[in-house]
Amino acid sequence: MSFLILVRHGQSIWNLEKRFTGWVDIGLTEKGKSEAEKSGFLIKNKNITIEYYYSSLQLRANNTLEIIKSVLNDKKDFIKAWQLNERHYGILTGLNKTEMSEKLGKKKIHEFRRSWNIKPDALSKESPYHPINIDTYKDLPEEIIPDTESLEDTYERVFKYFKDEIEEKLINKNVLISAHGNSIRALCKYLFKLDNNQISSLEIPTGNPLVIEFDKSLKILNCKYLDVERSKDLLIF
């Protein structure tokens, strides 16, 4: 038996401001820090020993994981991977979701946010929000840095990294991943065999650990959110 714990970072400043964040490196709000701390205590109460920790390159996911590890009193290092980053929202990056819904229509914004293979227009490389202009990504080869992404694009990078670096560890080890709404949705699509319509309906709450239990053949035995009051429909269990 092994466990995979997926945690979407706590509320970020741009979550609060209802802005498309994507690859911009934004910190947590005080509420987000509290959500991360509560996540830590919920995990601690399960008495699951975590052998491996993973996060994206992004501050909000890293800070969430650092808070969780502090609650667990676990000083192990964690692995940062750009492949676990949030989806890149292209030209929408930094814009207010409510204002853009009023400007472009709710249907169009929903299409950009939740469709499987439709992506917003590319973000200009001159924008301060483009990853090539953000210090966090200064060591990444420019050719792998996106200008925009669909959910399908996000899935492809998350899925490949999970298959190559993480999945085999789950045969007999426990893993915690602190990541983002869309990178976790991508993982859930693979793990729960969701189709392209189901993944569009899947909501991932901030700062609420999703615990997935596997047998030795990596068949899912059970899964649940630890903060029951803020659980979302997993569509499959």
Specify if 76 maps to a domain.
yes
Annotated active-site residue in 86, 88, 130, 180: 86
Beta bridge partners of 231: none
Specify if 223 maps to a domain.
yes
Specify if 40 maps to a domain.
yes
Alpha carbons 178 and 84: distance in angstroms, whole number: 9
Beta bridge partners of 181: none
Specify if 116 maps to a domain.
no
Identify the three-state secondary structure at position 213. strand
Helical residues (DSSP H) of 45-150, grouped into ranges: 59-72, 97-104, 106-114
Residue 222's contacts (CB-CB under 8 Å, 6 or more residues apart) are: 212, 213, 237
Specify if 235 maps to a domain.
yes
Specify if 209 maps to a domain.
yes
Q: CA-CA distances (angstroms) from residue 194 to 45, 151, 187, 201, 237?
A: 30, 13, 10, 10, 12
Alpha carbons 100 and 83: distance in angstroms, whole number: 28
86 is catalytic: yes
9 is catalytic: yes
Alpha carbons 60 and 11: distance in angstroms, whole number: 8
Specify if 111 maps to a domain.
no
Count how many domains the chain has. 1
* pTM for this prediction: 0.94
Specify if 78 maps to a domain.
yes
Annotated active-site residue in 9, 88, 130, 180: 9
Query: For 91-147, how does the pLDDT look when each residue is reduced to its tens digit (9 = 90+)?
Result: 999 999 888 877 777 777 767 666 788 899 999 999 999 999 999 999 999 999 999
For each successive 10 residues of the chain (237 residues), what is the average pLDDT?
Answer: 97 96 98 97 97 98 98 97 97 91 73 80 97 97 96 96 98 97 95 88 90 96 89 59
| Domain CATH code at residue 42 | 3.40.50.1240
State which residues form the domain around 221: 1-8+21-88+170-237
Beta bridge partners of 178: 7, 55
Instruction: Determine the pLDDT at residue 153.
Output: 96
